[in-house]
Amino acid sequence: MKQLCITITTTILLVLLFPGRDLNALEKCQICHSKKEIHRSEMTGRKIPLYVDESIIARSVHHDKECTDCHSDINEIPHQTVKKVNCRRCHYSGNLVGAPDGQMYDQYEHSVHGIAVLAGNKKAPVCQDCHGTHNVYSHETVESKFYWQNIPKTCGSCHIEVYAVYSESVHGRAVAAGIKDAPVCTNCHGEHNIKKHDNDESRVSLARVSQTCTECHGPQGVVNKYNVKTDRTATFEHSFHGIGQQMGSKTVANCASCHDYHDIRGEDDPKSSVYPDNIPQTCGKKGCHPGASAEFASGQQIHINPKSEDSGIIYYISKAFLILTVLVLAGLFSFIIMDLFRKAKNARAKR
């Protein structure tokens, strides 16, 4: 009886307020959802707001869609609690509505977030948590939750502690300063295909984290624009740790082992894990070199380029070995040539 009364009342309001006019879906929905006080109450007593700001929808990428394009389970007014929106109704490969497609959903389903959702974790993020609900804006719009500078905050709504640490890092401060080349969460972890760090396919796994860092810190990276050395990955690859990693070791140190993951700081920052006074602690942590002393740490130089004068005595020793090698080889070839001439001369004399 209560539902019948609500339906009759709503119908009368529609007729009285909009006589002889065929309302579109948004106008019909906004009869109720334009009221700022509208909400539904959960069993816990928590009130969930149901107010919809029409101006937000007008600015979103879905401004030309009807409410029921997303809320497809609504077939009457008023209606019961609606189901969670399934974005895959439009966002699938080869869709005919012009929505961005690709393998996003397939990647998401196999990601750490998608697996958690399938396992029944109600706190695991779905599309709306990252992209917004009615406020789905283009990633090029400053208001968007996925605007490059807003990505850390979006991810940080769940990963609060990580966000706090990242914000104080050299990367986080650069992003806050508006440097677009600075990495945000998705640059290192991926977007829809985020996997756990212990998965070998993860961009931050032990096997791949150095490769991920190389994208910025390698010869083709962007850090050269900011006077950051680009030889770091190359010199790491030729170090004991780098060679061990290339041979498949999963316990040898990588970039993050020394520089940390989210709390990356400059070597001149006293809080940095590679600040001179902190290196013994960094090298001596569990699983690496327990009990490492200051003397031990001072001898563990990783980023050494023998071809650069910056490497000091190693550069000159390398040069000396190169000269010595050339002289030895030159002498050897000279001896061989002279020996061949001698043998040829003796052969002619016997004729």
- Is the overall model pTM greater than 0.85, yes or no? no
Instruction: Annotate 52-68 with b (16+ C-beta within 10 A) or e (fewer).
Output: beeebbeebbbeebebe
Q: What is the pLDDT of residue 132?
A: 93
Q: Which residue has the higher pLDDT, 82 or 294?
A: 82
Asked if residue 98 is part of any domain, the answer here is no
Round the average pLDDT of the chain to a whole number and report it.
86
- Residue finishing a domain among 30, 53, 86: 86
Residues 294 and 312 in one domain: no
pLDDT digits (tens, 9 = 90+) for 88-100: 888 888 888 888 8
Residues 295 and 209 in one domain: yes
Asked if residue 350 is part of any domain, the answer here is no
* Inter-axis angle of helices 2-17 and 25-33, nearest 10: 120
Cα(69)–Cα(205) distance, rounded to whole angstroms?
A: 40
What is the average per-residue pLDDT within 8-33?
62
Cα(135)–Cα(158) distance, rounded to whole angstroms?
A: 19
Asked if pLDDT for residue 108 goes beyond 50, the answer is: yes
Q: pLDDT band for position 248 (50/70/90)? A: confident
Any idea which of 12-21, 230-239, 316-325 has the lowest mean pLDDT? 12-21
Residues 253 and 277 in one domain: yes
Residue 265's φ and ψ, nearest 5 degrees, are: -130, 160
What is the average per-residue pLDDT within 212-227?
87
Residues 217 and 278 in one domain: yes
Cα(277)–Cα(271) distance, rounded to whole angstroms?
A: 10
**Cis geometry, peptide bond prior to residue 125 (ω within 30 degrees of 0):** no
Residues 203 and 281 in one domain: yes
Which residues are CB-contacts of 251 (< 8 A; sequence separation ≥ 6)? 287
Residue 229, token pair as written in the block:
């050395």
Asked if residue 94 is part of any domain, the answer here is no
Residues 206 and 244 in one domain: yes
Asked if residue 99 is part of any domain, the answer here is no
Asked if residue 2 is part of any domain, the answer here is yes
Residues 205 and 275 in one domain: yes
Q: pLDDT band for position 62 (50/70/90)? A: very high
- Residue finishing a domain among 194, 217, 248: 194
Q: What is the pLDDT of residue 287?
A: 83
Residues 179 and 200 in one domain: no
Q: Residue 266 is part of which domain span?
A: 195-304
Residues 200 and 288 in one domain: yes
Q: pLDDT band for position 141 (50/70/90)? A: very high
Asked if residue 289 is part of any domain, the answer here is yes
pLDDT digits (tens, 9 = 90+) for 281-307: 898 888 888 888 877 766 566 777 767
Q: Which residue has the higher pLDDT, 233 or 339?
A: 339
Residues 181 and 132 in one domain: yes
pLDDT digits (tens, 9 = 90+) for 258-279: 999 999 999 899 999 999 889 8
Residues 285 and 202 in one domain: yes
For the chain, percent of residues with pLDDT exceeding 90 = 45
Asked if residue 72 is part of any domain, the answer here is yes
Q: What's the total number of domains in the chain?
A: 4
Q: Are 141 and 150 in contact (CB under 8 A)?
A: no
Residues 179 and 262 in one domain: no
Cα(33)–Cα(294) distance, rounded to whole angstroms?
A: 66
Q: pLDDT band for position 348 (50/70/90)? A: confident
Any idea which of 127-131, 164-168, 198-202, 224-228 has the lowest mean pLDDT? 224-228
- Residue finishing a domain among 159, 194, 229: 194
Asked if residue 279 is part of any domain, the answer here is yes
